[in-house]
Amino acid sequence: MSALTVGVVGKGGVGKTTIAGLIARTYVERGARVIAIDTDSNPNLGLSLGLSLADTEAIPVLPRSVFFGSAGTSAESLVTEYGRPTPAGPTLLSAIRVNEAGAGCTCGGHATVRGMLAGALTDVDVTLVDMEAGLEHLSRSGGTLAYADVLVVVCEPTRKSVLTATRTRDLAEELGIPHVVAVGNKSQGSEDVGFFKAALSSNGLALAAIVPYDPEIASADRAGAGAIDIVPRSLGVEIERLLDVLDDMVASSPSLKR
């Protein structure tokens, strides 16, 4: 498969990190080498990839504002030094962590991730970036995901979530991200399915998959287990559907941004 950079974004509470973990895991199951980058200041992607809380918190944070280039650091060296294997298969990097009040701006961490995405990582099929909730990372000044090939916007069946997705799509277009797709999450029946289809379509957003709400996932989360520990078939089918859409986008693109 061609190298692919996927950014996963969404309003707080929509299940973005769970979906990001499932995407990364499923790509590994398809035979891809995956690098997963957690840019949340309260990083939890490791839990969704099967790590314990202690192991997730022990992952070293990428240095801020790294200089990349022939005389600087390479993206591969950062993966080697700061990346950690996970039970789900992807290699996990932690870009940002806020441990104390008044710790300062996280812009440097976002700059490091942007620099890594700007250059091709060798021997990597998929680079997945789980973004912090909000829109700052898509601003022109930050532009953390400026080098992403596809943006996956996770929504829940609420009007506010769809509005956030629409704003995200608009910013992604300004940054020049080639593809933006939406994933409806936490669907609990035909009413939610209808809402996703109508609301996203009316706002010009392509709906790639509708992931059903599953109480087992919620129970696993409360018990401290990650998405790797239990993936109901209904969720797996929709994640596979999403990956098929992403792969079709790559196949139809004459050249990726990288």
Residue 8 pLDDT class (50, 70, 90 cuts): very high
Residue for token pair 């392509």: 206
Checking if the pLDDT of 98 tops 50, the result is no
Q: How far apart are CA 73 and CA 136, in angstroms?
A: 26
Alpha helices (H) along the chain: 16-29, 45-48, 53-58, 75-82, 107-118, 159-175, 190-202, 215-222, 233-252
Give helix then strand counts, H and E, for the chain: 9, 8
Q: How far apart are CA 229 and CA 237, in angstroms?
A: 17
The CATH class, in words, for 4-252 is alpha beta
Q: How far apart are CA 9 and CA 161, in angstroms?
A: 11
Q: How far apart are CA 223 and CA 131, in angstroms?
A: 24
Burial (CB < 10 A; 0-12, 13-18, 19+), residue 257, is: middle
Give pLDDT tens digits for 110-126.
677 777 777 667 788 99
Which SS3 state, helix, strand or coil, does residue 131 take? coil
Q: How far apart are CA 129 and CA 92, in angstroms?
A: 10
Decide if 131 contacts 137 (C-beta within 8 A): yes
Residue for token pair 């559907």: 241
Q: How far is CA 6 from CA 87, 145, 159, 188, in A?
A: 21, 9, 25, 27
At position 184, the amino acid (one-letter code) is: G
Give pLDDT tens digits for 152-206.
999 999 999 999 999 989 888 888 888 999 999 999 999 999 999 999 999 999 9
Residue-level length of the chain = 258
The domain locations on the chain are 4-252
Checking if the pLDDT of 221 tops 90, the result is no
